[in-house]
């Protein structure tokens, strides 16, 4: 299954086509705008237009187009924040291998992917790989396209001025057969030296009509149905708020909220039922989901404390505030090696007496 289709950004797409037709497409472009609205997807669309073999570009059916949508076109190199490679002397091959693996995960989710975590970045080895590949001839067609997603995460310096300068030089004057597309939702955090070398195009969130078209598209729908989202089109459009890519984190958030509510409800039960809920929090591999649940639980408890207080229930408000403190403590421990099941079981006691 290829990545979900692109919707919206119509006027930008017309503008880009005009630039291509008149031979005035800049060599380095920055797509900036809110997270999740499809900037990297738009960059992939532009890559498709640039490599398509037919007159009606992008045709979507030629080998080049299909290769871009399957994320395996040899001349379209898509990089984005990744965990630091364990080998300090990682080579271009290591970088490419890591990205191929990550992209096949993105492909499995039809092009939906979670926000990069705090420790993920575009490290120097990746920047050097771009510089190296840009100096080579295209492998399949006549052009090479480099897409750098979340470009504000490019690591500025790791003791190599030379590498940083090589990238800046590439941005400033890419080879005639090379286009570099950066995307950023925090363009203000971009290195000024990078920002000054790209032509910036501001992207807007999708209009509701475009969002409806997206959630109804059969390919997008298959991907969304796998995400534990509400089923109604209108509900999905409302949740996305113009950012189709955000539906993945919305889904993760709503399941975290549901898990938090369940734990809170279990605290007022007794016996087997009470601890059965704690045991549903997996012991391994589910730390991310567990952390999300704790964060939601904290929000939930603060809401309960406030409503108890405004209802004059000081005892209930106190219980909720005390429970929130216990959750905050658990959050600090959750990053360590403590089992989510044990933490959940301990929290059940701390949650007792919180008003419903």
Query: Binding residues for Zn ion, per CB under 5 A?
Result: 52, 54, 59, 62, 65
Enumerate the β-bridge partners of residue 182.
Answer: 30, 148
Shortest Å distance, C-beta 73 to Zn ion? 11
For residue 180, the minimal CB distance to Zn ion (Å) is: 21
Query: Closest CB to Zn ion among 73 and 197?
Result: 73
| Local structure of 189: helix, strand or coil | helix
CB of residue 54 vs Zn ion: minimum separation in angstroms? 5
The residue written with tokens 């590498």 in the block is: 163
In angstroms, the CA 2 to CA 4 distance is 7
Contact 172, 27 (CB under 8 A): no
The helix or strand, by DSSP H or E, that contains position 182, with its residue range, turns out to be strand 178-184
Concatenating the DSSP letter of every residue in 150-172 gives TGGGB---SS-HHHHHHHHHHHH
Decide if 185 contacts 115 (C-beta within 8 A): no
CB of 52 to Zn ion, least distance (A): 3
Nearer to Zn ion, 62 or 107 (CB): 62
Q: Which is nearer to Zn ion, 73 or 304 (CB)?
A: 73
Q: How far is CA 259 from the centre of its chain?
A: 22
- Closest to Zn ion by CB, 59 or 309: 59
At 122, give phi and psi (nearest 5°). Answer: -100, 100
Residue closer to Zn ion, measured from CB, 52 or 264: 52
Question: Which residue(s) pair with 145 in the sheet?
Answer: 76, 179
Q: Which residue has the tokens 């007792």?
A: 352
> Looking at beta carbons only, is 42 or 65 nearer to Zn ion?
65
- What's the CA gap between 202 and 12, in Å, rounded? 9
**Residue 308 and residue 300: Cα distance in Å, rounded?**
12
* Closest distance to Zn ion from the beta carbon of 64 (Å): 5
- Residue 210 CA to residue 171 CA, distance in Å, equals 33
- Torsional sign, CA 241, 17, 146, 201: negative
If the CB atoms of residues 67 and 267 are measured against Zn ion, the closer one turns out to be: 67
d(CA 349, CA 346): 6
In order, the DSSP letters of 110-153 are TT--PPPPTT-BB-HHHHHHHHHHHTSPPSSSS-EEEEETTGGG
Give 65 or 319: the residue with its C-beta nearer to Zn ion: 65
**What distance in Å separates the CA atoms of residue 235 and residue 78, rounded to the nearest whole number?**
32
Q: Report in angstroms how near the CB of residue 45 gets to Zn ion at its nearest.
A: 11
Nearer to Zn ion, 179 or 343 (CB): 179
Contact (Cβ atoms closer than 8 angstroms) between residue 2 and residue 69 = yes
Shortest gap between Cβ of 144 and Zn ion (angstroms)? 17
Minimal distance, residue 56 CB to Zn ion, in Å: 8
Q: How far is the CB of 53 from Zn ion (least distance, A)?
A: 6
């Amino acid at each position: 299954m290829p990545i979900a289709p692109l919707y919206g950004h119509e006027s930008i797409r017309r503008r880009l086509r005009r630039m291509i037709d008149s031979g005035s497409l800049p060599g380095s472009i920055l797509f900036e705008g809110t997270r999740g609205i499809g900037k990297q997807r738009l960059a992939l669309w532009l890559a498709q237009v640039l490599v398509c073999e037919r007159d009606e570009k992008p045709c979507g059916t030629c080998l080049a187009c299909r290769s871009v949508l399957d994320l395996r076109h040899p001349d379209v190199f898509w990089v984005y924040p990744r965990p630091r490679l364990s080998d300090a002397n990682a080579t271009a091959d290591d970088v490419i291998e890591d990205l191929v693996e990550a992209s096949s995960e993105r492909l499995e989710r039809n092009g939906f992917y979670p926000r990069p975590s705090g420790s993920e970045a575009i490290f120097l080895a990746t920047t050097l790989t771009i510089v190296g590949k840009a100096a080579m001839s295209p492998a399949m067609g006549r052009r090479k396209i480099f897409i750098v997603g979340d470009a504000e995460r490019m690591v500025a310096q790791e003791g190599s001025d030379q590498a940083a300068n090589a990238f800046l030089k590439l941005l400033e004057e890419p080879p005639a057969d090379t286009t570099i597309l950066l995307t950023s939702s925090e363009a203000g955090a971009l290195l000024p030296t990078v920002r000054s070398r790209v032509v910036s195009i501001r992207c807007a969130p999708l209009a509701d009509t475009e969002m409806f078209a997206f959630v109804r598209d059969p390919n997008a729908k298959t991907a969304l149905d796998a995400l534990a989202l509400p089923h109604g089109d209108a509900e999905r459009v409302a949740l996305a708020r113009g950012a189709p890519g955000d539906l993945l984190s919305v889904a993760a958030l709503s399941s975290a909220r549901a898990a938090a509510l369940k734990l809170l409800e279990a605290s007022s039960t007794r016996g087997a039922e009470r601890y059965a809920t704690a045991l549903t929090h997996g012991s391994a591999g589910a730390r991310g989901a567990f952390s999300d649940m704790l964060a939601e639980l904290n929000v939930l408890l603060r809401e309960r404390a406030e409503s108890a207080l405004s209802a004059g229930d000081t005892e209930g408000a106190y219980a909720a505030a005390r429970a929130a403190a216990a959750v905050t403590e658990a959050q600090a421990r959750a990053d360590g090696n403590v089992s989510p099941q044990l933490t959940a079981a301990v929290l059940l006691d701390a949650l007792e007496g919180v008003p419903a």
